[in-house]
Amino acid sequence: MIARAIAATLLFCMMNSVQAQSWAWDDGTVPFVVSPEEVVDRMLRIADVGAGDSLIDLGSGDGRIVIGAAKRGATALGIDIDPTLVAKARANAAAAGVTGKAAFAVGDLFEADLSRASVITMYLLPEVNLKLRPKLLALEPGTRLVSHDWHMGDWEPDETIELRTPEKPVGLGGKSRIHLWIVPADARGQWIAEVPGHGGRWEFEIAQEFQAVTLRAKVAGAGRDLTVRATRLRGLEIKMAVTGLVGAKAWNHLFRGTISGDRISGDILVSDGEQQRTIPWTATRKK
């Protein structure tokens, strides 16, 4: 315990993020470092936490993220391996008057059941995030993941914000970065859509790595691919901007849809440069 106390003191003196790899203890746990209240607020805001959400904070410390989520109307659970911190968090929740929506448990975050969460928050370390990543990617598409400072390797965030936090004793030189990931739906494969009046049968071939998708699109019988100008997959929502000749006329098609298993449904914003209209569409993934 003396060695850990000395290490913790040294930790609070370190300001260079390059040293982050040495922060985890030998047993895989992470020392408790307080997130400034402004960071807590931004983490909850970037995930749009509110009533109806179920938030789980991994490594919940003194409970401030869980308490903040409960004040926004969410049901929140904090998990920490340190019983002393869990007791402190419970006392803080009672003082804040949110015990009905804020709960805390002593536990191993790697063994915790995260399946009911719509939002996961964490202030861990890169190597811990990477170890958790397969478990996080397996959550329901649309689940929001928020990390203070640290990344997920080659899984790029959907959004990142940076703010100055001179009161933070460790980290990125007086700054904090807040990263948001949204667990992506599985969009991979070949999809067939029927769009009456605009080419009829469309064929899409989608490749995917995390939320990054690449797309080939064509109208059946047209003989060549159309130009795909942009794509985006954000949780269950997909957008695909496709330009080219359909029925001997140049059109812009912005496909917008929601993925549900092997089906996409939504609408298409169709434009020829002079006029535009919206038409419905659905697509089915080929087995």
CATH code assigned at 211: 2.40.128
Long-range pairs for 23-27: beta carbons < 8 A, 24 or more residues apart: 23/125, 24/125, 24/127, 24/128
Strand order in the sheet with 212-219: 212-219, 200-209, 189-195, 276-285, 263-271, 249-260, 237-246, 227-234
> Do 238 and 96 lie in a common domain?
no
> Do 18 and 160 lie in a common domain?
yes
Average the pLDDT over 134-139 and give the result: 97
> Do 24 and 9 lie in a common domain?
yes
Taking the C-alpha atoms of residue 202 and residue 187, their distance in angstroms, rounded to an integer, is: 16
CATH code assigned at 42: 3.40.50.150
> Do 79 and 173 lie in a common domain?
yes
Taking the C-alpha atoms of residue 96 and residue 146, their distance in angstroms, rounded to an integer, is: 23
Residue 10, pLDDT above cutoff 90: no
> Do 16 and 144 lie in a common domain?
yes
Residue 6, pLDDT above cutoff 50: no
200 backbone φψ class: left, alpha, beta (φ>0; ψ -120 to 50):
left
Average the pLDDT over 247-274 and give the result: 93
Taking the C-alpha atoms of residue 127 and residue 133, their distance in angstroms, rounded to an integer, is: 10
Taking the C-alpha atoms of residue 178 and residue 149, their distance in angstroms, rounded to an integer, is: 6
> Do 163 and 193 lie in a common domain?
no
Give the pLDDT confidence of 172-224 residue by residue, as tens digits. 668 899 999 999 999 999 999 989 888 889 999 999 999 999 999 999 877 67
Taking the C-alpha atoms of residue 195 and residue 222, their distance in angstroms, rounded to an integer, is: 14
pLDDT given at position 272: 86
pLDDT given at position 28: 44
What is the number of domains present in the chain?
2
> Do 245 and 120 lie in a common domain?
no
pLDDT given at position 173: 66
Q: Are 258 and 282 in contact (CB under 8 A)?
A: no
243: which 2 tokens? 């330009």
From 130, 159, 182, the end of a domain falls on 182
Q: Could you give the C-alpha distances from 162 to 14, 28, 39, 133, 265, in angstroms and in order? A: 20, 27, 10, 22, 35
Report the chain's terminal Cα–Cα distance, integer Å. 57
Residue 119, pLDDT above cutoff 70: yes
> Do 237 and 119 lie in a common domain?
no
> Do 122 and 223 lie in a common domain?
no
> Do 172 and 236 lie in a common domain?
no
Rg (CA), the chain: 23
pLDDT given at position 171: 59
Average the pLDDT over 264-272 and give the result: 95
Q: Could you give the C-alpha distances from 199 to 30, 129, 196, 250, in angstroms and in order? A: 56, 46, 7, 12
> Residue 241: which domain range?
189-285
> Do 72 and 153 lie in a common domain?
yes
From 182, 213, 233, the end of a domain falls on 182
Give the pLDDT confidence of 53-73 residue by residue, as tens digits. 999 999 999 999 999 999 999
Residues in a beta bridge with 175: 164
> Do 175 and 193 lie in a common domain?
no
From 182, 203, 226, the end of a domain falls on 182
